[in-house]
């Protein structure tokens, strides 16, 4: 079982809050969302209409973002992959002193854009936007492959 190190707790919490705000649009029409904690699952979000939104945290693994603009991450959702409604990306630099949580809007001064290119039955394809003058992740600060680059939070319904 993948466990989130304690040093990632607050960045992960921030990521979850961002995604929860995004999911409000999923429960449209004046409905509201509530936290639902059945005994066999933790911190599920449930819309009033009974639709349960499940989070799955997936380790990105090693990624030299300095040389590779793309990363393929297996999601392990099986047939439920078609029910993905949101994916949040949490990137950690090599020194573990900066954490970046997407969705990150493009900012021309930093070229911070990273996103999900596509999803299929087995994988999530991540891509970094490159610009004419380079991009933010194209530095030695994101080149180590000795530890995980971060994680994805995938939200889906059953």
Q: What are residue 139's phi and psi, to 5 degrees? A: -145, 170
d(CA 55, CA 130): 30
The confidence score (pLDDT) of residue 64 equals 93
Q: How far is CA 59 from CA 1, 20, 66, 111, 136, in A?
A: 11, 20, 19, 24, 21
The confidence score (pLDDT) of residue 119 equals 93
Residue 150 pLDDT exceeds 70: yes
Helix (H, G, I), strand (E, B) or coil at 7: helix
- Given a contact cutoff of 8 angstroms between Cβ atoms, the answer to whether 2 and 59 are in contact is yes
- Given a contact cutoff of 8 angstroms between Cβ atoms, the answer to whether 21 and 15 are in contact is no
Counting Cβ atoms within 10 Å, is residue 145 exposed (0-12), middle (13-18) or buried (19+)? middle
Q: How far is CA 76 from CA 55, 102, 119, in A?
A: 13, 21, 12
Residue 46 pLDDT exceeds 90: no
* Of the listed ranges 10-19, 38-47, 66-75, 89-98, the one predicted with least confidence: 38-47
Mean predicted confidence (pLDDT) in 50-71: 88
Residue 9 pLDDT exceeds 80: no
- Residue scoring higher pLDDT (8 or 58): 58
- Residue scoring higher pLDDT (92 or 2): 92
- Given a contact cutoff of 8 angstroms between Cβ atoms, the answer to whether 154 and 89 are in contact is no
* Of the listed ranges 67-71, 110-114, 115-119, 150-154, the one predicted with least confidence: 110-114
Residue 149: band (very low, low, confident or very high) from pLDDT cuts 50, 70, 90? very high
What does the pLDDT look like over 107-145, one tens digit per residue?
A: 455 545 788 888 999 999 998 876 645 567 778 888 999
What does the pLDDT look like over 80-111, one tens digit per residue?
A: 999 988 888 899 999 988 888 775 444 455 54
């Amino acid at each position: 079982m993948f466990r989130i190190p304690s040093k990632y707790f607050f960045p992960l919490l921030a990521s979850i809050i961002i995604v929860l705000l995004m999911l409000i649009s999923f429960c449209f029409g004046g409905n509201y969302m509530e936290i639902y904690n059945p005994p066999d699952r933790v911190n599920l979000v449930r819309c009033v209409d009974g639709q349960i939104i499940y989070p799955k945290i997936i380790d990105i693994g090693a990624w030299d973002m300095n040389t590779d603009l793309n990363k393929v991450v297996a999601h392990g959702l099986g047939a439920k992959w078609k029910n993905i409604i949101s994916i949040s990306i949490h990137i950690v630099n090599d020194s573990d002193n900066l954490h970046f949580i997407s969705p990150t809007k493009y900012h021309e001064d930093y070229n911070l854009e990273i996103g999900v290119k596509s999803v299929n039955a087995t994988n999530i394809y991540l891509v970094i936007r490159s610009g004419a003058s380079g991009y933010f992740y194209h530095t030695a600060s994101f080149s180590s492959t000795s530890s995980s680059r971060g994680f994805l939070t995938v939200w889906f319904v059953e």
